[in-house]
Structure 1
Amino acid sequence: MKEYNSRFDTSLKPAHFMPKYWLTWLSLGFLFIFSFIPVKPRDAFAAWVANRLYNAKFLNKRKKIAFTNIGLCFPDYTEQQKDALMRENLRSVAQIALSLGEIAFRSQSFLVKRINFIGEEYVKEAEANGQAIIFLAPHCYGVDFAGVAAISARGYPLSSMFNDYKNPIFDWFVTNYRTRFSRLHEKGTLYHRSEGLKPCIKSLRDKAHFYYLPDEDHGRDKSLFSPFYATQKATLPVIGRLAKLGRAVIIPTYTSYNAETGKVDVICHAPLAGIPSATEQQDTDIMNAAIEKVVDENRAQYMWTLKLFKTRPEEDLKIY
């Protein structure tokens, strides 16, 4: 693999095997076991658990955040519609969570078969034209299946970035499964978010595609306000610079777990036109409109429980 000098160290240390981490290791053991259980009974079990946990008190805070977000985006939704959406959301979370071990422990050929890759022709066309790709992928629960099983496992070189977890065992586990197929290529790796955009641009220029999650709230000082459904969202205005400096096309991408087929639908839309434009505001508006379109593929699997709108146009307004 080409070395990009990432400063993030996820190697295991002797201290990581001390008793304080045994529960984490046990959790990974359960993920290993679940990864080999047939999909249909595992999905049924996950749905059963989700249905019974929906009204648990420990979920109240996250449900309140989600209902606030949904209300801002879709003011015409009734309380019953919000409730139905979040019940489906929790079922999807449970089904994807119990599937997560597959990405780490199952074979490359198994993972390729688990994916229904819709719109892969756009990826192939960009590759045939020698173009780098920014996969514009808003936060949904199956994001790792798209990056690992749909893109990397099919031989497309990929880089991405992330923040570390508070648990170093999860850091080790997640970074290793996210790079397990990238390590087979000469290009692509995983960067810590603190390293900024420079290594990502370097990767794109080397024709390693970039998996970009664009919808976090980074605060007023770093953001522009841009329409998102029926509200305004503080959005990091970097997509135009990434596309220009990385000489890349932008392919909006969404991941949706399909409980009926037992497969993961990874959906690529046509490359975005018009970015980079004349202004960062216009770039950001085009991007958010594209995010809306992919989220509409399955609204119930978007991460509505994130504090997506923490920064509001009205200063000092707190909605969570």
Structure 2
Amino acid sequence: MNNKERNDFDPKAYNPEFQWSFLAPKYWGTWLVVFLALPFALTPRKFREVIVTKIVKSQMKKGRGAIRRALINLLLCFPDKTEQERFEILQRNLITAGVFLTGFAAVSLRSKHWLSEKTVVTGLEHLELLQKNNQRAILLVPHSWAIDIPAILLASKGLPVSAMANSQKNLVFDWLMHKQRVQYGGRVYDRSGGIKPFIKSVKDGYLGYYLPDQDHGPEQSVFADFFATEKATLPALGKLAKVSRAKIVPVFASYNLETGQYEVDISPPIDDLSGHDESDARVMNQVVETFVEPRPEQYMWILKLLKTQRDGNEPYLRSDLYP
């Protein structure tokens, strides 16, 4: 389906618009960052890498905030690795993130042809087969730094994409991020509105974009193995597939620091969903493990992945794990 032949507007979708209040003094700092970031995104990758590396190494020495949280996540997930190995993974992770993010504005500044040339896609035939057979699909996309790339790329090729996201506190950044996500069409639903509009969009033929690895608390989750630990995991994957009558297709996005290419890996649809909460939660975590273990530098280890614990003892508050 060509995105020019459909109307992506949905009154239930999140559709922020420009407001004149965005020009108020409280947002001048935001606009300054935007206007500096746009030309910087077009500078050579190696130049950005040099600057990012210096900043990351300086911040790593402090070991506070998000860096401390990421180190705790890596400790619990990879206890067999040495402290130095985990430190090096995180340093590489943050450099990858910094180089990717400082260049991400180019996705909007350049053309869809540039994006296609910049991206290496593996496994696209799995989606093409589903499309050919008129089967619905929900993409299961773990939180890598390049997580937005597959959605924008597929939309640029005329495939309708529907996603859920949390709105940002900074209204200018929120508007700009939304504009970038739907620059080639598609729909984004605010998580606060529930999952029903998202399911309806999948039934309408949109490719669902589902993020499997955030911690939504004990009330909504079950505990399932996650690397060497366990994680509070949403158990609804099998039920989601059933109610939307869709195949679940794992997708992972990477940023190759050596080549500067975006890489999108699309796996065959998952066949072993049972509809049972615990087993389906484990299947979902296995998808994350399969993608992340060979390239841990791509994953958002700074997230509060393991905040919810069986004993209620949040690891990020424990000084015995990391001072």
- Per the alignment, residue 185 of structure 1 pairs with none
Structure 1, unpaired ranges of 5+: 183-187
1:258, 1:265 within 8 Å by CA — same for their partners in 2?
A: yes
**1:166 has 2:177 as partner:** no
**1:311 has 2:308 as partner:** yes
Aligned length: 309
Q: Which moved more, 1:114-123 or 1:54-63?
A: 54-63
The one of 56, 72, 77 aligned to 1:53: 56
Q: Give the CA deviation at 1:9.
A: 4.5
Secondary structure of 1:244's aligned partner: helix
**1:127 has 2:125 as partner:** no
- Per the alignment, residue 227 of structure 2 pairs with 229
- Partners in 2 of 1:306 and 1:291 — Cα distance? 14
- Per the alignment, residue 156 of structure 1 pairs with 159
- Per the alignment, residue 96 of structure 1 pairs with 100
- Partners in 1 of 2:16 and 2:287 — Cα distance? 34
1:252, 1:294 within 8 Å by CA — same for their partners in 2?
A: no
The one of 233, 250, 256 aligned to 1:252: 250
Paired residues for 1:93-242 under 5 Å: 93-149=97-153, 151-182=154-185, 188-242=186-240
Q: Give the CA deviation at 1:215.
A: 0.6
**1:19 has 2:25 as partner:** yes
- Partners in 1 of 2:27 and 2:86 — Cα distance? 37
Alpha-carbon distance change, 10 to 43 in structure 1, aligned in 2, over 3 angstroms:
farther
Alpha-carbon distance change, 205 to 25 in structure 1, aligned in 2, over 3 angstroms:
same
Alpha-carbon distance change, 27 to 238 in structure 1, aligned in 2, over 3 angstroms:
same
- Per the alignment, residue 321 of structure 2 pairs with none
Secondary structure of 1:134's aligned partner: strand
2:56, 2:95 within 8 Å by CA — same for their partners in 1?
A: no
- Partners in 2 of 1:113 and 1:222 — Cα distance? 41
Secondary structure of 1:221's aligned partner: coil
Q: Give the CA deviation at 1:285.
A: 1.2
- Partners in 1 of 2:275 and 2:169 — Cα distance? 40
The one of 283, 292, 295 aligned to 1:295: 292
Q: Give the CA deviation at 1:7.
A: 5.6
- Per the alignment, residue 319 of structure 2 pairs with none
Q: Deviations over 1:21-50 (max 9, x none)?
A: 11211222223213333xxx3334234432
Secondary structure of 2:315's aligned partner: coil
Secondary structure of 1:307's aligned partner: coil
1:137, 1:253 within 8 Å by CA — same for their partners in 2?
A: yes
Secondary structure of 2:301's aligned partner: coil
State the Cα RMSD in Å. Answer: 1.6
Q: Give the CA deviation at 1:2.
A: 4.1
**1:281 has 2:256 as partner:** no
2:238, 2:275 within 8 Å by CA — same for their partners in 1?
A: no
1:69, 1:308 within 8 Å by CA — same for their partners in 2?
A: yes
- Partners in 2 of 1:285 and 1:42 — Cα distance? 38
- Partners in 2 of 1:58 and 1:269 — Cα distance? 39
Amino acid at match of 1:300: E
1:31, 1:100 within 8 Å by CA — same for their partners in 2?
A: no
- Partners in 2 of 1:124 and 1:31 — Cα distance? 36
> Structure 1 length normalisation: TM-score?
0.92
1:65, 1:305 within 8 Å by CA — same for their partners in 2?
A: yes
Q: Give the CA deviation at 1:52.
A: 3.8
